[in-house]
Amino acid sequence: MKRVWPAWLLLFLGAFFLTTAGVSQFWAKSAAERIPLDTYEVTRLTGSAQLLNAATGKTAQVPVKITNTTQVDPKLSDGKVVVFVTSTCVVKDTGSPSDCPPSKGPNADDRVISETQLNFASDRHTAEAIDDPKYVTNTPPVEGLVNKWPFYPKRQSYDVWDDTSKQAAPADFVGTTTVDGLKCNQYHQVITNAPIDLGHGIKALYSLDETYTIDAVTGKIINQQIHDVRKLKDGGALALDLNAQYTDATISSNVDYAKSSGTQLKLVTKTLPLVGLIAGVVCVLAGLLLLLRRRRRHDETPSEPAPVNAGV
């Protein structure tokens, strides 16, 4: 027994490694590739806009900042679905305004260009929007991707929700790039002359040219480069021509998050299954080989002749 214990130890270790690989591949992977329920994020963009002055009927160039706040509603979210509560403010960046000054009431700030809110539900694995009154209701229903790409996004087109035009439009894969050492995919979305309401019954046509830079592991949005153009439907006068992208601080924060989360994700979904499988197979084969050698040696050992009884 003492001579065969290494073989049994190797077989035990092999079974352990193979079990670890299986758990990592089929259970831990599913658990790791889920949108977390503790998300709270403030995303900031900076840029400039040609903005129509309703009083003069002329446009003027102004610096702008955009602030988007995203958080999870834990009461409505569950193991499969996450419900997001979001708000977006576009503000003239003059005189150091707050992220989202009041746009109505006695303290209304005339630097606020627009203020919107969107609550929506997404599948925690695919990041696809879900239309289910159990979670949240929108008219029209939110479709496609909204604030995140799937884990390990593919080099293909994805339908991405645009809340201004209230539609999901394709964002086509256009290539790869690197942001501070982080490998990313890029997707390009174009919307042309979509009818929208500017408020107060003013009809307009809306066009968007947007490039998304997406982490190739976590699917996190690292940067958005936006060109938003709105023209009055009657006469075609320019109402807004805005260019903006994420601030350097937001991009840096997104990269740090993606690198940290990506390392953990690859450990669970790639490294552990592969290392466990290889180590398990090697240990099992080594254990079986030792047992086989032990048996061969036992079979080849000549048995001692029986003692001869010399007595009569």
pLDDT value of position 309: 58
Mean pLDDT of all residues in 290-306:
64
pLDDT value of position 225: 98
pLDDT band at 312 (very low <50, low <70, confident <90, very high): very low
**Residue 73 is assigned to a structural domain of this protein:** yes
Q: Which range has highest mean pLDDT (89-98, 103-112, 262-271)?
A: 89-98
Distance CA 97, CA 248 (A): 19
**Residue 295 is assigned to a structural domain of this protein:** no
> Which residues are CB-neighbours of 237 under 8 A, at least 6 positions away?
52, 57, 231
**Residue 87 is assigned to a structural domain of this protein:** yes
Structural domain range at position 49: 33-246
**Residue 46 is assigned to a structural domain of this protein:** yes
Grouping H, G, I as helix, E, B as strand and the rest as coil, residue 169 is strand
pLDDT band at 302 (very low <50, low <70, confident <90, very high): low
Mean pLDDT of all residues in 118-131:
97
CATH code for the domain of 161: 2.30.230
**Residue 19 is assigned to a structural domain of this protein:** no
**Residue 67 is assigned to a structural domain of this protein:** yes
Query: Over 60: is that where the pLDDT of 308 sits?
Result: no
Query: Over 80: is that where the pLDDT of 205 sits?
Result: yes
Half-sphere exposure of 51 (CA within 13 A, CB side): 19
* DSSP letter, residue 304: P
Query: Over 60: is that where the pLDDT of 170 sits?
Result: yes
Residue 189 identity (one-letter amino acid): Q
Q: Residues 3-40: pLDDT tens digits?
A: 666 766 766 665 665 666 565 555 556 667 899 999 99
Q: Which residues pair with 181 in a beta bridge?
A: none
**Residue 40 is assigned to a structural domain of this protein:** yes
Count, residues in the chain: 312
* DSSP letter, residue 153: -
pTM of the model: 0.81
The total number of structural domains in the chain stands at 1
Helix ranges, 237-271 (H): 248-266
Contact in structure between 62 and 115 (CB atoms under 8 Å):
no
Query: Over 50: is that where the pLDDT of 1 sits?
Result: no
